[in-house]
Structure 1
Amino acid sequence: MTELDDGSLEAWFWRRHANPRSGWSRVPVGAVIVYAVYRRDARLLAGALVWTVCNPFVFPPPETDEAWMTRAVLAERWWVRAEGNGTVGLARPNVFNGVAATGFCVALYAAWRRRPRLAAIGTALSVSLKLWWLRLLVRRYDARARAEE
């Protein structure tokens, strides 16, 4: 995890966010936000947003990078910083993240309009495609690491 050791505040943040408990505990937050919008529950929405912001600061840095979610966070940072890519776009793999973001917007709109089936489909699509995007990044990240050995 040497790419996260440059001493900056950003590196400190990413080291802590790389803890698999940080990553996995953020996965259901999108669903909680959609549910809060559907229920018109401002407290639940505020709690989900506060958790999203505070989450990386709650967990210590991971001891190793063996966990899949740790490598997913490292791969995302590598993809954006070292490779100079964005996170959405029309090319693979970013198209998956772009469609995931669109699915989340659909889920929020459906929740606001109180259409539970569409909200659930949009949420499931969003989470599934985000994890698929991370899966593809982890494959590339791991392949790069093997090639450097």
Structure 2
Amino acid sequence: MGSTTRGSLRSRLEATFWERHANPWSGGTRILVYPVLMYAIYKRNRRLFAATVAFIAVNPVLFPRPERTDNYLSRIVLAEREWLDEGNGTMSLDYPNVLNVLNIPVTVYAFASAIRRKPVGTVLGTLGVMVLKLWWTDAIVKETGVTGRGPDEEPNSAE
């Protein structure tokens, strides 16, 4: 009995996580938080760094479940959930996951540039990370065909 209860609790927690993370404010602020993180590293601002990391950690559950998910930022999250539920993973040499693999050296470059206080490298690296991540999310939205749901649809009818 205990494992069934845990399984259903886990399923409910995962569903709550994804439903709240599908709020466009969650996706939008998560995109914008990366430059703030890089700025905090570049400026050696420990408080901003700690606040940014804390925000990244709570972001997926910080915002309420949205009434509609037929906007692009919600569709990104819904597509990611579907992509992972289908067992596709996020790292491989197949498209679109190769974009995440390519993002590893770009991320290292961005962090190294910020740590060394190289402004051009920090900006270019940060932009590169963001472009590759948004390219990947756009690709999985297209691959999964997720459309989200409008205000007059039932919560699970189009997801």
Give the TM-score of the pair, scaled to structure 1.
0.86
1:86 aligns with 2:89: yes
The question of 1:21 aligning with 2:61 is answered no
Q: Percent identity?
A: 41
Q: Does 1:65 align with 2:39?
A: no
Shift of residue 96 of structure 1? 1.2
Q: What CA distance in whole angstroms lies between the structure 2 residues aligned with 1:129 and 1:51? A: 22
**1:13-62, CA deviations, whole angstroms, 9 ceiling, x for partnerless residues?**
11100001100011121111111111111001001111111112221111
Question: Residue 4 of structure 2 aligns with which residue?
Answer: none
AA partner of residue 99 (structure 1) = L
Alignment check: 8 A CA contact 1:36 1:45 kept: yes
* Cα-to-partner distance string for 1:46-79 (whole Å, 9 max, x where unaligned): 0111111111222111112201111110111111
Q: CA RMSD in A?
A: 2.0
Q: Tell me which residue corresponds to 2:108.
A: 105
Displacement of 1:86 in angstroms is 1.3
Measure, in 1, the Cα distance between the counterparts of 2:45 and 2:146: 44
Q: Is 1:48 matched up with 2:52?
A: yes
Question: Rg larger in 1 or in 2?
Answer: 2
Pair 1:135 & 2:138 matched: yes
Which segment drifts farther, 30-39 or 56-65?
Answer: 56-65
Indicate the SS of the match to 1:84: coil
In the superposition, relative to structure 1, how do residues 144 and 84 fare at CA in structure 2: closer, same or farther (>3 Å)?
farther
Q: What is the alpha-carbon distance in structure 2 between the residues aligned to residue 49 and residue 59 of structure 1?
A: 17
Higher helix share: 1
Structure 2 distance, partners of 1:37, 1:51, is: 15
Aligned residue for 1:28, secondary structure, equals: helix
Q: CA separation in 1, counterparts of 2:11 and 2:80?
A: 19
* 2:107/2:129 contact within 8 Å kept: yes
Sort the Cα spacing of 1:102 and 1:62 in 2 relative to 1 into closer, same or farther, 3 A.
farther
Runs of 4+ deviating beyond 3 Å: none
